Amino acid sequence: MPERPPAALASADADALAPPAAMIPVPLWPCAVYDQARLLVFGVPLPPDTPRERARLQLRRVLRAVLAARLALAPEQLMLPRQPGRRPRLAPPHDGIGLSLAHAPGLSLLAIHLDGPVGIDLLRTAALPADWQQLARDYLGPARTRQLAALPPEHAAPAFAGHWVALEALLKCHGQPLAEWRDETERRLAACVLRPLALPGDWLGSVVLPGSGGFG
């Protein structure tokens, strides 16, 4: 796994996307579902060549199984309408539960927040696009772009990956599409609670809740 850049390199004006040290464990499904947890995060390993639509269907099945176990319901009692292009959402009376899914070749993630919105994302540092510096300039804002440019080469790409999954998770939590960086994005997202995920190998991931949320 690439060495993570020192936490001290995170500048004060870039803290909204700088994950704190504490990581959220990510058990791999199938596994036990803790009946007191308000936030549930699971990984679903899949063959790297799994078609994206098949991965989505598998994630939806796991999502219903996890929720059924946590809420002591039968899976068929949980309706999960298909809404292409929109974040997953349960039908009433369970529509207040926040859901978020993320998929990359080889591993998918799901997050369930019983108290409201949640966002999750992941990627492999080995799969970063060649033009990640341009992506940083377009989507991460000037503060993070300067921060990344100041890092040694061996730290810059992993740092970008960490910022990127944090941004994607933040936007999912707010139900917003990816868009070029604006100052108001910083203000809107700064109130979120962000945690990095404990993932194997060179995978990086983040989960995000609104600022009033918690990780009980």
The H-assigned helical ranges of the chain are: 52-71, 132-139, 141-149, 153-174, 183-189
Strand pairing category for 119-124 and 203-209: antiparallel
Maximum pairwise Cα distance, the chain: 53
Q: Tokens for 203?
A: 């995978």
* SS3 state of residue 74: coil
Q: How confident is the model at residue 188 (pLDDT cuts 50, 70, 90)?
A: low
CA–CA gap between residue 144 and residue 158 (Å, rounded): 13
Partners of 101 in the beta sheet?
Answer: 110
Question: Residue 122 — φ and ψ, nearest 5°?
Answer: -155, 160
Mean pLDDT for 164-170 is: 92
Q: What is the pLDDT of residue 16?
A: 43
Mean pLDDT for 46-58 is: 92
Q: How confident is the model at residue 212 (pLDDT cuts 50, 70, 90)?
A: low
Peptide bond just before 27 cis, omega within 30 deg: no
Q: How would you label 76-94 residue by residue, b for 16+ Cβ within 10 Å and e otherwise? A: eebebeeeeeebbbbeeeb
Question: What confidence tens digit (pLDDT) does each residue in 81-128 have?
Answer: 887 777 889 999 999 999 999 999 999 999 999 999 999 999 999 899
Model confidence at 53: pLDDT above 70 = yes
AA letter at 145: T
Q: What is the pLDDT of residue 87?
A: 81
For the chain, the average pLDDT equals 84
- Percent of residues, the chain, with pLDDT higher than 70: 87
Model confidence at 15: pLDDT above 60 = no
CA–CA gap between residue 208 and residue 168 (Å, rounded): 9
Model confidence at 12: pLDDT above 50 = no
Provide CB contacts within 8 A for 181, sequence distance 6+. Answer: 138, 139, 140, 141, 142
* Domain locations in the chain as residue ranges: 7-209
Question: What confidence tens digit (pLDDT) does each residue in 122-144 have?
Answer: 999 989 998 999 999 999 989 88
Residue 134's alpha-carbon distances to 131, 148, 180, 203, in angstroms, are: 5, 12, 11, 21
Model confidence at 7: pLDDT above 90 = no
